[in-house]
Structure 1
């Protein structure tokens, strides 16, 4: 039966994924997007991975959330089961796209990638940016854009995307350098012109963990406001000691998003645009779910993020940190509502 076959496929996927983290990355790197692909043959492994990303879930009540935060072994085991959903470079039919990727193995999944409007239909490279639309709470289309930290040759593309997509907020969760370059400085001190977009810095507000810049963007005879948040206290290859600054950042971003005239996606980036970026987006969605449903399903949220952009939430420690942040948020929520 179909049900029996699906169980067999999921069993096969579980077996495949029980290797080390290194083999997990190698095994999963060939997987395509979750949307139907225009190929004649889908291997059982690919089918099982898609099934997992579409169907896996484990809603947690308040008590279960607190319990699972204390059971890190269980969380890490659950995380290791989730297909990475990285794509094969051959799936991106764009000549020389490698010149615009910060990391050669971190590529935008084709079905959800952001396409820049280009003067020439034939110039595929000018329409390419390493960025994906990410669904939000309840599958809200294009709630976020997850992207890599801009490079010297992609800064103009980045601002073109911010303008084209009418983004109200940019969230940057990386230093410019951590051992090596993670992101170039892509905004001006006062005023800068990036391709067709002019960026003006109106004001700067320094907090303990992040800096907020109020920006004006101009293109042609149009003007828009945009808030830029630069979160600098997330350590490289680790997770923060406290989740409080992340929750505060999230609250500020949500306030700005709601009050902004621009209705586009919130742009989130770190260096590769999958690890810390994934944590921020997953925590935001999880908090919304807790607020409205009283439960949270981090497994399902992570699967959905990876369906849109491979590798979102990069490590077991980051997966653990998202649960920790949500547990803290839930405790505050319960205190406020007196439950």
Structure 2
């Protein structure tokens, strides 16, 4: 009932008024200008009169209070005020010399008070009148205030210190200044919230907005299409061609060159996806963050029985290329939510993933990832999941699962990495490097038919991007003796926007690679 009342047609009275106003002949612009001028003069006159009355009243009350403070009662003080007014308003020749001298001595302080109050009140009145007389004075202030509220401040970057934000963390708003628009990162159930209204500085360098793809085809990896804007095409070409090969001896000096690294990092397009690309009912419930979405061409599509069931195919995950351009070497995804636990396990089974790498805590001031694994055993979508063993290491917990579905049985390993505390910067690189090496060794021991390694943090772009980039670059440094961190980051962002989210993460990858280079060179030096 209330909704109908709000959205119903306007009242007939308002319609009639609008019609009568429309039928009125247009006024002469000169007449309108004179009318506005007289209206302002009238407003100024009324304001001046009000302030003059206020000035007189304040003087009378001020002198009355002053007399009472000097020891007079209320009525004697009022009588003295009347005598003072009579003295001031009477002609100059009506006072005797003795009376005049007496009033000068007795009324000196009240006269000073009157002068001070007159100057203060009249000054305020004159300023207010001038402001009212100025064209559009007050409305400009109100409009500026409304505009300042609508503008969103630019996102800032954390510094490379222990007191700042976690390198591998994503708060409710991405730190990289990609969208300067009014947005809320919390998950909501209203599909209409997918529409983001730009404020005027929206930057989507490299976003594949214009692509037309078959989104219901499971595992679709159709290449990028045409119909891109010049800016998007330029960003795409940069991500495809950018390169900066670093020799092993250059890694450490490059990691310490802040100005060069910042220039290189900020030059790279983020390649985030416009939320309007996923304007489908129900999709918003499957995203932890409304503006962190899978790039369309490389998204993981879940298999469904109905061809038109887009929501059934959707999961916030992307296939990521590995070393040497290996297709589907990794899957980067968000931390599962309560609504997507079943979809997550469907993806694990469908892609034959041998390993899950989780680089986040369940809670870091707020929920970063739901606890999607059981304590003992549980069944999702016909997939029976059983925990066989839990191994606690220094920097991570290892869970070994058994998955059963349709008579088939598989083994799955989950590395839950928890060594980075909330809102802190890692002060050492060895833990991440050790995890990368441990996961790579486990991957080599997996069955030949195994699929990609699934990596996730909270949003699936920050810590996830650092882990995947480090894994790829360690192989490149081992087999080629060089590391192209810029090219690898661009490759990741082509597959999933925003990978390696901040400059501090980008610098940390350089530090980890520098450490790995020292490990490789130690046997040679000895």
- Normalised TM-score (structure 1): 0.90
Given the alignment of the two structures, is residue 233 of structure 1 paired with residue 419 of structure 2, yes or no?
yes
Describe the SS at the equivalent of 1:319.
helix
1:111-151 CA-to-partner distances (Å, cap 9, x unmatched) read 00000001221211011000000000010000000000000
Work out the CA distance in 2 between the residues paired with 1:157 and 1:243: 33
Given the alignment of the two structures, is residue 303 of structure 1 paired with residue 490 of structure 2, yes or no?
yes
More strand by share: 1
Higher relative contact order (CA 8 A, sep 6+): 1
Given the alignment of the two structures, is residue 29 of structure 1 paired with residue 204 of structure 2, yes or no?
yes
Work out the CA distance in 2 between the residues paired with 1:239 and 1:288: 26
Q: How far apart are 1:236 and its partner, in Å?
A: 3.7
- State the structure with more CA Rg: 2
Aligned partner (choices 112, 119, 140) of residue 305 of structure 2: 119
Describe the SS at the equivalent of 1:251.
helix
Describe the SS at the equivalent of 1:32.
coil
5+ unaligned residues in a row in structure 2: which ranges? 1-154, 158-174, 180-201, 212-222
Q: Rate the CA distance shift 1:28–1:308 in 2: closer, same or farther, 3 A.
A: farther
Task: Spell out the pairing of 1:192-271 with structure 2 (5 A cutoff).
Answer: 192-261=378-447, 262-271=449-458
Q: How far apart are 1:152 and its partner, in Å?
A: 0.3
On the 8 A contact 1:239/1:318 being kept in 2, the answer is no
Given the alignment of the two structures, is residue 333 of structure 1 paired with residue 486 of structure 2, yes or no?
no
Q: Rate the CA distance shift 1:44–1:24 in 2: closer, same or farther, 3 A.
A: farther
On the 8 A contact 1:95/1:124 being kept in 2, the answer is no
Aligned partner (choices 151, 169, 177) of residue 337 of structure 2: 151
Work out the CA distance in 1 between the residues paired with 2:421 and 2:510: 18
Q: How far apart are 1:336 and its partner, in Å?
A: 2.7
The alignment of Structure 1 onto Structure 2 pairs a total of residues equal to: 319
Q: How far apart are 1:67 and its partner, in Å?
A: 0.8
Q: How far apart are 1:289 and its partner, in Å?
A: 0.3
More helix by share: 2
1:41-81 CA-to-partner distances (Å, cap 9, x unmatched) read x2221111001100001010112111111112221221111
Greater Cα shift, 176-185 or 191-200 = 191-200
Given the alignment of the two structures, is residue 319 of structure 1 paired with residue 506 of structure 2, yes or no?
yes
- Normalised TM-score (structure 2): 0.59
Q: Could you tell me which residue of structure 2 aligns to residue 44 of structure 1?
A: 230
Greater Cα shift, 181-190 or 191-200 = 191-200
On the 8 A contact 1:30/1:88 being kept in 2, the answer is no
1:191-210 CA-to-partner distances (Å, cap 9, x unmatched) read 11112211111111101110
Q: How far apart are 1:97 and its partner, in Å?
A: 1.0
Describe the SS at the equivalent of 2:409.
strand
On the 8 A contact 1:268/1:277 being kept in 2, the answer is yes
